[in-house]
């Protein structure tokens, strides 16, 4: 039995990662965009704009490579003296245990790499590629606790590799369009084990996985006028799912111990509609944008175990999320202090897709966020190449919210819910980023 569970949950750990959207959505794509509130600037030769407004690359004139590194540090409110086990979730099925919930989440270290490649033929456009990943790996997974309060947007959501690729085409001097994709995947797996309780021969097992890529559309439109740069970008929803089956049989005597299915939404990126405008003057550049994100199809990153005929019980589906579509307004300014130095600042407000007071069953939690950002860039030449160094800082403040759990257990029986009597949602996040850009 232990061998069966080992294979099953090892397989799960390879794929399960409770992520809502992406690193650039929360923290920006480079110092030049992160500093002004995670939005595009008006520089067509800045590859960091590829995520926010890929059509802008249509007017680029130089092959440009940019790379950044960043660290994200979390500090959430302590959660002490709450129910951590009840009759539904406790090992014994009868005890009620109170204690502390771990809100000390690990720091996250990430890298972003962007390439802007204008095509040689006149007015043929450009290709933009953006790569986001945790430093030192492709994916780090952490599903968090299945019952206790979890800030699932922050537990491990930044620690995955993402690729955005776009082709941008100019339509004269005023208009440009782009079409591209971002990549997800669908995974299925099957693990079969045969456990021997006889000394005559040992246990055995087999496993099979199938991972297929899935693509989401990215399309954008840019327009230049005397009033500045206006743009619109659409990013299609992406759901990356895992379905798995695990079986475990005893050979002698013949008995099916485990026959379960697993369902999990590994990653989720919502539909995003982004509208923005950039206005430039001799001394400053002003940016503003509004994002509308559609979260209707989001599912909590909880593992759903289905009993397909063995002796293992299925997981209980008690959590019911109150979802809402969100608005994120952003404003930013970049000041040209001297010819080669630019100082920037930004402000954003991000609505949480999780609505309600979290008083019922389930403990996937979040709150609205106020974000302040700042940074600077320094431009110079080295061996005739244009180089830019940059750094940015961000402070995210979660709105405080007091949770008071309703009476009764998650299944409606008398007793207390996990998280009772209640706790406080809130905290802050700090992000620091540094990087360089070189044009050829």
pLDDT 10s digits, 367-404: 999 999 999 999 999 988 999 999 999 999 999 999 99
What is the average pLDDT across 152-172?
A: 84
**Cut 0.95: pTM above it:** no
Q: Which helix (H) or strand (E) holds 33?
A: helix 31-34
Strands in 172-203 per DSSP E:
175-195
Strands in 226-283 per DSSP E:
228-235, 238-250, 255-269, 271-280
pLDDT 10s digits, 217-257: 999 999 999 999 999 999 999 877 777 787 777 766 666 77
What is the average pLDDT across 72-100?
A: 88
Left if phi > 0, otherwise alpha if psi is -120 to 50, otherwise beta: which for 201?
beta
Q: Residue 261: what pLDDT?
A: 77
Residues 17 and 157: their CA atoms lie apart, in Å, by 7
Residues 255 and 257: their CA atoms lie apart, in Å, by 6
Alpha-carbon dihedral 381, 383, 387, 389, rounded to 10 degrees:
-90
Q: Check whether 116 has a pLDDT greater than 90.
A: yes
What band does 12 get if pLDDT is binned at 50, 70 and 90? very low
Domain span at 173: 2-439
Q: Residue 306: what pLDDT?
A: 79
What band does 1 get if pLDDT is binned at 50, 70 and 90? very low
Closest among 392, 276, 281 to 335, alpha carbons compared:
281
Q: At 14, list the tokens.
A: 């390879």
Q: Residue 158: what pLDDT?
A: 67
Q: Check whether 420 has a pLDDT greater than 90.
A: yes
Q: Residue 10: what pLDDT?
A: 42
Q: Residue 273: what pLDDT?
A: 97
Its sign, for the CA torsion 14, 20, 21, 22, is: negative
Lowest mean pLDDT among 270-279, 315-324, 347-356, 362-371: 315-324
pLDDT 10s digits, 212-224: 777 899 999 999 9
Q: Check whether 73 has a pLDDT greater than 60.
A: yes
What band does 157 get if pLDDT is binned at 50, 70 and 90? low
Q: Check whether 17 has a pLDDT greater than 70.
A: no
Domain of 248: which CATH number? 2.40.160.60
Residues 278 and 293: their CA atoms lie apart, in Å, by 21
Residues 319 and 97: their CA atoms lie apart, in Å, by 20
- 207 vs 17, higher pLDDT: 207
Q: Check whether 141 has a pLDDT greater than 70.
A: no
pLDDT 10s digits, 285-326: 999 999 999 999 887 777 777 777 777 777 777 888 899 999
| Residue written as token pair 């590194």 | 69
Closest among 53, 28, 36 to 274, alpha carbons compared:
53
What is the number of domains present in the chain? 1
What band does 138 get if pLDDT is binned at 50, 70 and 90? low
Left if phi > 0, otherwise alpha if psi is -120 to 50, otherwise beta: which for 136?
left
- In terms of residues, how long is the chain? 440
Rounded to the nearest integer, the mean pLDDT of the chain is 86
Percent of the chain predicted with pLDDT > 70? 87
- Helix ranges (DSSP H) in 101-249: 152-155
What band does 93 get if pLDDT is binned at 50, 70 and 90? low
Closest among 352, 17, 47, 11 to 184, alpha carbons compared:
17
């Amino acid at each position: 039995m232990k061998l069966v569970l080992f294979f099953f949950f090892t397989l799960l750990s390879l794929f399960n990662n409770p992520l809502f959207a992406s690193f650039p959505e929360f923290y920006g794509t480079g110092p030049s965009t992160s500093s002004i509130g995670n939005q595009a600037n008006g520089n067509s030769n800045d590859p960091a704009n590829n995520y926010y407004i890929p059509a802008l690359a249509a007017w680029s004139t130089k092959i440009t490579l940019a790379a950044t590194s960043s660290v994200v540090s979390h500090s959430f409110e302590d959660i002490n003296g709450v129910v951590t086990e009840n009759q539904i979730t406790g090992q014994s099925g009868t005890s009620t245990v109170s204690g502390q919930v771990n809100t000390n989440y690990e720091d996250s270290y990430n890298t972003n790499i962007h390439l802007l490649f204008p095509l040689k033929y006149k007015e043929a456009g450009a290709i933009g590629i953006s790569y986001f990943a945790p430093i030192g790996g492709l994916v780090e997974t952490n599903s968090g606790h299945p019952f206790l309060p979890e800030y699932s947007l922050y537990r491990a959501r930044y620690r995955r590799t993402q690729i955005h690729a776009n082709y941008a085409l100019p339509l004269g001097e005023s208009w440009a369009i782009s079409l591209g994709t971002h990549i997800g995947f669908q995974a299925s797996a099957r693990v079969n084990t045969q456990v021997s309780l006889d000394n005559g021969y040992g246990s055995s097992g087999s496993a099979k996985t199938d991972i297929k890529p899935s693509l989401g559309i990215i399309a954008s439109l840019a327009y230049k006028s005397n009033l500045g740069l206006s743009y619109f970008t659409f990013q299609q929803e992406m759901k990356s799912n895992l379905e798995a089956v695990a079986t475990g049989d005893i050979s002698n005597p013949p008995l099916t111990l485990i026959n379960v299915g697993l369902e999990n939404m590994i990653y989720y990126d919502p539909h995003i509609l982004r509208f923005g405008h950039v206005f430039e003057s001799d001394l400053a550049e002003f940016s503003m944008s509004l994002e509308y994100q559609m979260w209707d199809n989001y599912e909590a990153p909880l593992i759903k175990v289905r009993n397909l005929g063995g002796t293992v019980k299925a997981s209980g589906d008690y959590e019911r999320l109150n979802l809402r579509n969100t608005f994120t307004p952003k404003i930013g300014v970049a000041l040209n202090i001297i010819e080669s130095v630019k100082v920037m600042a930004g402000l954003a407000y991000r609505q949480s897709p999780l609505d309600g007071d979290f008083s019922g069953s389930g403990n996937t939690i979040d709150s609205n966020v106020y974000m302040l950002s700042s940074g600077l860039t320094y431009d110079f030449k080295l061996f005739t190449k244009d180089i830019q160094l940059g750094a940015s800082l961000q402070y995210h403040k979660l709105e405080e919210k007091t949770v008071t759990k309703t009476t009764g257990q998650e299944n409606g029986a008398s007793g207390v819910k996990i998280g009772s009597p209640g706790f406080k949602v809130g905290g802050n996040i700090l992000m620091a980023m540094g990087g360089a850009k070189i044009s050829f």
